[in-house]
Structure 1
Amino acid sequence: MLSGRRFPQEITPADLERQLASFRKLGVRWVVFSGGEAQLNSKLPALARMLRTEGIHVTLLTAGLLLESQAEAIAATLDDLIVSLDGPPAVHNHIRRVSGAFEQIAAGVKALRQFRPDMIVRARCTVQKANHRSLCATVQSAKEIELNSISFLAADVSSSAFNRPEGWSPERQDRVTLNAEEVAALEIELERLICDHRPDLDSGFVVENAGKLRHIAVHFRAHLGEVEHVAPRCNAPWVSAVIEASGDVRPCFFHPAFGNIHDQALHDIVNGSEALRFRANLDIATNLICRKCVCSLHIPRQNEEPMQTDVQAV
């Protein structure tokens, strides 16, 4: 049962300290700090140091606006990071509604590399109405600021995840998702990306293969009702968990919480009756939330434990 008490909306070192025994018991090996904006957590360096002392790999997912000012601490306490890159400079700045947002990412990456020249910085681009014709230019921009790779995913417009418990109205969705004409333009842009950047796909600089890139357009066609939604390959609820700033624990970003770390240890939550029942009854191929998912995770499992090793902390 979820706690009815209210807590500060920030994971603290004390919160993490109480869960370290669970992390060890679960064999947690990777934590991703995301948000919101994880860099706004005033204790992020302390949290990262605690996890790395446990031998856990720590990744930061960030909009990148604070990278330059926090470069020394990030370089010293995190293993790698992922920056949200929405397009080439003008497109990125328009989507972010921040003048110079792209330039701030570039300056932040440069500052990080001054402290740690070999630090891995990857990009993640969310494909939507404002950038669907700019994917090739986005790859080129990622190269120009010396990022290590870039991945693409479709915008999520229909779920209640990411701090929108009531979901988006149809009008709000239409400002982000693609109409039929725009999907056709996206398909052309994706084929151009696959053809013109074949060496980047082969090298892994563009993370997705051709099939996964083409599925982005399929997702938007499904949103229009032209084709059926098809669930991606995913085992996130069996190999990971999401800890939100409130302490709520979810099986992934999209399904409801089944516990709170302010009430129970993480190990007991993910192996509790509610979590076990959820996983036993979940058929990813037919579940509508899973079929509409844009952010799947698949990690090969070493064994058949009900919960394994990777935790994303929000």
Structure 2
Amino acid sequence: MCDIWKIREVREITPSDLAPHLASFRALKVRRIVFSGGEPLLHSDLASLGHLCRGEGIRLTLLTAGLLLERHAPAVASSMDDVIVSLDGPPEIHDEIRGVKSAQARVARGIRALRELRPGILVHGRCTVQKRNFRELRSTVRSAQGLGLNSFSFLAADVTSDAFNRPGGWTKEQQVGVALNATEVEELEREINALISECQEEIESGYIRENPEKLRRIVDHFRAHLGQRPAVAPRCNAPWVSAVIESDGAVRPCFFHRPIGNIQNGPLVSILNSAAALDFRHTLDVARNRICQKCVCSLFLNEQRKG
């Protein structure tokens, strides 16, 4: 659930903005970049950004709603290594949540167009679990399989942070429209258990990326939001192995923590090794940090933590 699309002024990182930081990418040994948004396919020259980064041997992933994928299939096929599309449910649920008639059909056409150009390209799916789709998790997996997606993932909706263009966070009224109430959490738990039982093969094969424990954490997240249990931070080392660069150049240690610099003001490698960044990482206790405890989008890589 993202409000970045509501930003009216054009803010985007251009190839000329990024080029001075290629030396930083080399110094940091960057191996992967995920282009997300908002909607990255609205970028005026995403392909050039992609080619610039791929020239450094970096693997590129596009995270998209998929509605513009058919139109931009040639650019995506030539510049990206793999794609993740948002899938909110079976067709009728997905279309309702997106507010676009035949939205899932448009995603399907985009995937077909992309694979006509790059038959072997990997296209994955991701579902954000929320009030309007939590009863349809099993049918969402079947829809993903029908679209020919290579894998599928679930995460809980973030309703409390000020990330993704939500200064001050959502109001209580906005949260209620997305989060689950106590009765619905009980229904979600039953749906998750049914998903684990009926999609055992998909879980064991890795088609569903989460194991049963991680799937059940989605229930825990909504229970914590209701105050039914303590919020528990996921295992995460994102600030030590990754960074987020926003469309205005702001650099964050992850999506949810405050910016630590801006690439318009200095090299990325200097920002990530600045006194402010080093102090942030040195003092961050993921398990006890309140922002981390509410995180729905953690990252853990088996890399040695430095600084």
Structure-1-length-normalised TM-score: 0.94
**Corresponding position of 2:3:** none
**Corresponding position of 1:48:** 50
Whether the aligned pair in 2 keeps the contact of 1:8 and 1:246 (CA below 8 Å) is: no
The 1-side partners of 2:52 and 2:264 are apart by 19
**Corresponding position of 2:75:** 73
The 1-side partners of 2:16 and 2:75 are apart by 20
**Corresponding position of 1:231:** 233
**Corresponding position of 1:132:** 134
Matched ranges for 1:138-217 at <5 A: 138-217=140-219
Whether the aligned pair in 2 keeps the contact of 1:38 and 1:44 (CA below 8 Å) is: yes
* AA partner of residue 111 (structure 1): A
The 1-side partners of 2:61 and 2:110 are apart by 16
Structure-2-length-normalised TM-score: 0.96
1:121 to 120, 123, 135: 123
The 1-side partners of 2:188 and 2:58 are apart by 38
Q: Secondary structure at the match of 2:158?
A: coil
TM superposition shift of 1:72: 1.3
The 1-side partners of 2:226 and 2:213 are apart by 20
The 2-side partners of 1:192 and 1:110 are apart by 31
Matched ranges for 1:82-101 at <5 A: 82-101=84-103
Runs of 5+ consecutive residues of structure 1 not aligned to the other structure:
1-6, 307-314
TM superposition shift of 1:304: 4.2
Which consecutive segments of 4 or more residues in structure 1 shift more than 2 A?
A: 303-306
Runs of 5+ consecutive residues of structure 2 not aligned to the other structure:
1-8
The 1-side partners of 2:260 and 2:217 are apart by 31
The 1-side partners of 2:254 and 2:306 are apart by 17
Provide Cα deviations, 1:5-40, integer angstroms capped at 9, x if missing partner: xx9610000011011011111000100000000111
TM superposition shift of 1:73: 1.3
Provide Cα deviations, 1:188-225, integer angstroms capped at 9, x if missing partner: 10011000000000111100000000010010000000
The 1-side partners of 2:133 and 2:154 are apart by 11
The 1-side partners of 2:292 and 2:248 are apart by 24
The 2-side partners of 1:155 and 1:8 are apart by 26
Whether the aligned pair in 2 keeps the contact of 1:74 and 1:112 (CA below 8 Å) is: yes
Provide Cα deviations, 1:52-108, integer angstroms capped at 9, x if missing partner: 110000000000010001111111110001001000000000001011111110000
**Corresponding position of 1:3:** none
| Aligned residues between the structures | 299
Whether the aligned pair in 2 keeps the contact of 1:48 and 1:77 (CA below 8 Å) is: yes
Provide Cα deviations, 1:245-302, integer angstroms capped at 9, x if missing partner: 000000000000010000011000000000000011100000000000000000001x
**Corresponding position of 2:59:** 57
Provide Cα deviations, 1:108-165, integer angstroms capped at 9, x if missing partner: 0011110011110000100000000000000000000100011000000000000111
**Corresponding position of 1:271:** 273
**Corresponding position of 2:4:** none
**Corresponding position of 1:262:** 264
* AA partner of residue 75 (structure 1): A
**Corresponding position of 2:224:** 222
The 1-side partners of 2:62 and 2:13 are apart by 14
TM superposition shift of 1:43: 1.1
* AA partner of residue 286 (structure 2): I
Q: Secondary structure at the match of 1:134?
A: helix
Whether the aligned pair in 2 keeps the contact of 1:183 and 1:221 (CA below 8 Å) is: yes
The 1-side partners of 2:106 and 2:244 are apart by 28
Whether the aligned pair in 1 keeps the contact of 2:30 and 2:58 (CA below 8 Å) is: yes
TM superposition shift of 1:305: 3.1
Which is bigger in relative contact order (C-alpha 8 A, separation at least 6)? 1
Q: Secondary structure at the match of 1:28?
A: coil
**Corresponding position of 2:247:** 245
The 2-side partners of 1:145 and 1:226 are apart by 37
